[in-house]
Amino acid sequence: FPTRGPTATQRSRPPGGAPPPPLVTREEGAPEESAPLVARGGKDAEILKSAKAWRKVGRRVPQGCRPIRTEVDERGTTTRLFAAGQTISEESWRAELRQAWKERWLTLMAALDSWRERLSALDGPEAENALMKLLEEREELVDRWQDMASRAGGVAELELFPTLEEETWREAVRLFREHRFGLILVEAGLAESSWAEGEGTGTTETLASAPVDPVVLRLAETVDRAMIRQEERADPYHLVTYWQYFGRFMKALDAARFEREVADVTQIRHFHTLFRAREQRRQFHLFLGPTNSGKTYQALQKLAQAESGTYLAPLRLLALEVADTLNSWGVPCHMVTGEERLEVPGARHTASTIEMLALGHRHQVSVIDEAQMLGDPDRGWAWTQAILGVQADEVCVVGAPEALPAVEKLLALTGDPYTVTTLERLAPLEPLERSVRHFHQLEPGTAIICFSRSGVLTLKESLERETGQRVAVLYGALPPEVRRDQAYLFASGEAPFLVATDAIGMGLNLPIRTLLFAQDSKSIDRREHPLTPLEVRQIAGRAGRYGKNEIGFVGTFRIPVTRIREALEATPDSVRRAPLAPNLDHLLAIAALRERKKPALAHLLDLFVKTVKPDPRIYRIADLEEQTILARITDRHPKLDLGTRFALSAAPVSLRVLPVVRAYERMVVAVATEAVLKLDSLLPSPPEEANWPLEWLETAMRIVNLYSWLHYRFPAIFPDLEAAEANRREINRRINRQLRQKPQGDRRCESCGEPLTEGHAFRLCDPCWERNRRGRRHWVRGGRESSREAPFSTPPPSRQAVAVETTGGEAASPGGRRRQWGGGENKTGGGRRFRGKTASAQRRGQSASPRPRREQPPEDVSGPVWPPPRTK
């Protein structure tokens, strides 16, 4: 260790003699880190230890004490050694620490008082930097205090923790935030510097007397409070740097001011006052109940007895059915939809889709059907508009009980009186205990539900091939006339079975005795979503019609019954908020605020969604995604005014069907250029084969409907209404012919591709079936259900073997041995089988012959079971 001058050893060494013993030595057997050093030199020997060693014996080295000696070992570790006279007791050491801490704390509090006195004279960054330094020192002292408390057991020190004066520090932070708020308002030109320098800067009382717009100042105060809450989420003493806070504040304030202006010009918080219906007093009758409860019938009785009236439906098919019903009752009734008009001479009643409601016409009675559609994010705005704006002396609202909360909130705004009539199902609905596995178990009057067009058509083909009976189909892409014809086939008994999607849930009265779900989830945007209790109830309620089937049965087809049963037993979520969508007046008002001559319609729709803030307890903004996409297509043509583009964006365009979108683009160009457009130029070229594909016919029908819809808005540009009607009739005829065709016999095996013989009832040929059955384990009807089965597979009932009940999944052989079952499961169901040949058959060199099916014993179940198969 380097020193100035000779060391003690060099001073005491005699000339030419041996070196003296060392000044200090380490005690034998003592640990290196705590071994004391004994100074040799007679009676004045002194023990030296490190601070850590003294701490182990209950002594402390005060802070700042200089060591007697410093040693460096071979590894370069430095050890400072202290004498006993330099140490103090543990209690004295803690007392000194507390005293030193209190002195620093008092100094810090004095600095805080000085900062508060100088706050009004400091600008924002200066005041912030000074306070940040004080808060950092406070945090350091608090950490030290907590460390002292933890070392002492946390008793005495924690009792003194309130002396840290939390309220004083929080008050200082609050004063700085108010000072910062005032300075930012001065920087933004929203207040004068004299106002910001006054006492109570930023308080509500000061804002009221500020020499600027008090509304803007109160809005700024709201923004400031929201940003302070964000600051305090992590730490109540956290502060964003001044200029960063200034930028965020001004951005949020500009957005808030624009939202306030939009709310003022659109009057969105007083939306219900914008309708002429507020000039009259209406009486509402709410008919609420599940499907098949007679609620729509009671409302139609009131409508038929009125001198004039209107019926508002969610579907064109339902409007057409009600129009036919009223005409059959001797009440002339028009039918009006976006694509079609069926006028009856002398009629004073109208059945229409709900979007076609004429708010300017007054009626004696109006019926709003399927009110639970208030919960639909896309179309629910039409029901909101109808309830608030329809002009009628009496209004009948028909729907599920789940719609009551939202309807009551809307009627509380209008002040219209209402009565509630709750109805029960006329035909009871009972769930089946087991899933139906095979087509031969189906009885006439059965409907099977799946949630895709391809699934419906595949299941229809399999069911017709297995049973030899005609099958009716219903899905959303079918034209209303075709749906009506298919429903007639099922109702008349010509088609004893029905395969449908959730389109069956509204608009059709069908004599369904048993309804089976082939799927318990549906795909939305390529994601599987389980059916909600409301969806299950709406679809399942179609089983059992009063006067036709006294009891309706609900079950599943080749899927477990658990999820459907749970959905039937669960309570559906209520509809609590009504959707709002902008009208043209709203968009024109927003466009005036943006000060643009040709504002983009898509941008205005985005602004409406992002800036309009209705009462969240009553309303919510509707989903405008599809309308915004169509608006972007219309924005390509700046010649079109905003009203025309808004009308075009509401067209019924199937965005997932590319030919329809291409036809829509050409129609928009025709409107922009005012060029006459014929229907024939829009339709795709028909296929060469005689039987046009079903998908092509459905696409052509969409284009025809879109052309008809635009004809009623722009008749001079789209004049071919008669051609559209002729094409609609021809397409409907061809679709019906396609659906009536029986499955073709020239089918091929799905495994090897070889042609199947005529009348072959299975998807696989016999050799492939024999090859696939080996090494697989099957289950007969009545056994356990496999969730991995394909939904539309068709197991051959004649080829099922008997399931032998053995322990551990083994089969007894004639020789007394037990052989294992073949591994794996056949996705098409069936019974258990031996793997390969039986022992006796092996000796004979023959294969085991199939055994007859063994009858299953009756099961003891509490609820209704699937009806036995009908006899020929």
**Amino acid found at 78:** T
Residue 722: per-residue pLDDT: 93
> Per-residue b/e over 40-52, b at no fewer than 16 CB within 10 Å?
eeeeeeebbbbbe
Q: How far apart are CA 218 and CA 204, in angstroms?
A: 8
Q: Which residues pair with 620 in a beta bridge?
A: 579
Q: Are 131 and 118 in contact (CB under 8 A)?
A: no
Q: Which residues pair with 25 in a beta bridge?
A: 38
The answer for residues whose C-beta is within 8 angstroms of residue 657's C-beta and 6 or more apart is 699, 702
Kindly write down the DSSP assignment for every residue of 210-223, as one continuous string.
-SS-HHHHHHHHHH
User: In this structure, what DSSP letter does residue 122 have?
Assistant: S
Domains of the chain, earliest start first: 8-86 (no CATH), 93-266 (no CATH), 277-422 (3.40.50.300), 429-569 (3.40.50.300)
Classify the phi-psi angles of 807: left when phi > 0, otherwise alpha if psi is within -120 to 50, otherwise beta.
Answer: beta
Longest dimension (CA), the chain: 144
Angstrom CA distances, 338 to 335, 465, 483, 710, 862, stand at 10, 39, 18, 9, 50
For residue 697, which of 660, 734, 658 has the smallest C-alpha distance? 734
Residue 555: per-residue pLDDT: 93
Q: Are 87 and 72 in contact (CB under 8 A)?
A: no
Angstrom CA distances, 796 to 554, 727, 830, 861, stand at 25, 43, 8, 27
Classify the phi-psi angles of 240: left when phi > 0, otherwise alpha if psi is within -120 to 50, otherwise beta.
Answer: beta
Count of CB atoms situated within 10 Å of the CB of 165: 14
Q: How far apart are CA 336 and CA 18, in angstroms?
A: 126
> Per-residue b/e over 722-759, b at no fewer than 16 CB within 10 Å?
ebbeebbeebbebbbeebeeeeeeebebeeeeeebeee
> CA 459, 464, 470: angle at the middle one, nearest 5?
115
Residue 744: per-residue pLDDT: 59
Q: How far apart are CA 260 and CA 214, in angstroms?
A: 14
Run of H or E residues at 537 = helix 533-540
Q: How far apart are CA 112 and CA 463, in angstroms?
A: 86
Q: Are 436 and 304 in contact (CB under 8 A)?
A: no
Q: Where are the beta strands (DSSP E) in 322-375?
A: 333-336, 341-342, 349-353, 362-368
Q: Which residue has the tokens 């709203």?
A: 586
Count of CB atoms situated within 10 Å of the CB of 321: 20
Q: Which residues pair with 286 in a beta bridge?
A: 397, 420
CA dihedral 472, 475, 477, 483 (to 10 degrees): 50
Run of H or E residues at 83 = strand 78-83
Q: How far apart are CA 731 and CA 113, in angstroms?
A: 87
- Residue 852 tokens, joined: 């007859």
- Residue 538 tokens, joined: 């709406």
Residue 853: per-residue pLDDT: 44
Q: How high is the mean pLDDT in each 10-residue block of the chain (872 residues)?
A: 39 43 39 45 66 86 86 88 86 82 88 90 89 90 80 53 74 90 82 53 42 74 86 83 87 85 84 90 94 90 94 91 93 92 92 92 94 92 95 95 94 94 88 89 92 88 88 89 89 92 79 91 79 88 74 90 88 91 90 77 91 90 94 93 94 93 96 94 80 87 95 94 92 89 65 65 74 53 38 39 36 38 38 40 44 42 42 43
Q: What's the pTM?
A: 0.68
Q: Are 510 and 517 in contact (CB under 8 A)?
A: no
The answer for residues whose C-beta is within 8 angstroms of residue 678's C-beta and 6 or more apart is 720, 723
Helices (H), 234-392: 242-266, 295-305, 316-328, 380-389
Run of H or E residues at 313 = strand 309-313
Q: How far apart are CA 40 and CA 440, in angstroms?
A: 110
The terminus-to-terminus CA distance of the chain in angstroms comes to 114
CA dihedral 275, 279, 280, 286 (to 10 degrees): 30
Q: How far apart are CA 543 and CA 446, in angstroms?
A: 9
Q: Which residues pair with 522 in a beta bridge?
A: 529
Kindly write down the DSSP assignment for every residue of 103-141, as one continuous string.
HHHHHHHHHHHHHHHHGGGS-HHHHHHHHHHHHHHHHHH
For residue 626, which of 587, 664, 584 has the smallest C-alpha distance? 664
User: Helix, strand, or coil here: 261?
Assistant: helix
Kindly write down the DSSP assignment for every residue of 471-499, as one continuous string.
EEEE-TTS-HHHHHHHHHHHHHTSS-EEE
Residue 773: per-residue pLDDT: 66
Q: Which residue has the tokens 């910062």?
A: 180
- Residue 790 tokens, joined: 């394909």
Residue 323: per-residue pLDDT: 93
Residue 777: per-residue pLDDT: 43
User: Helix, strand, or coil here: 45?
Assistant: coil
Angstrom CA distances, 520 to 169, 524, 564, 804, stand at 59, 13, 7, 32
Contacts of 19-26 with C-beta under 8 Å, sequence gap 24+, read 24/48, 24/69
Q: Are 503 and 476 in contact (CB under 8 A)?
A: yes
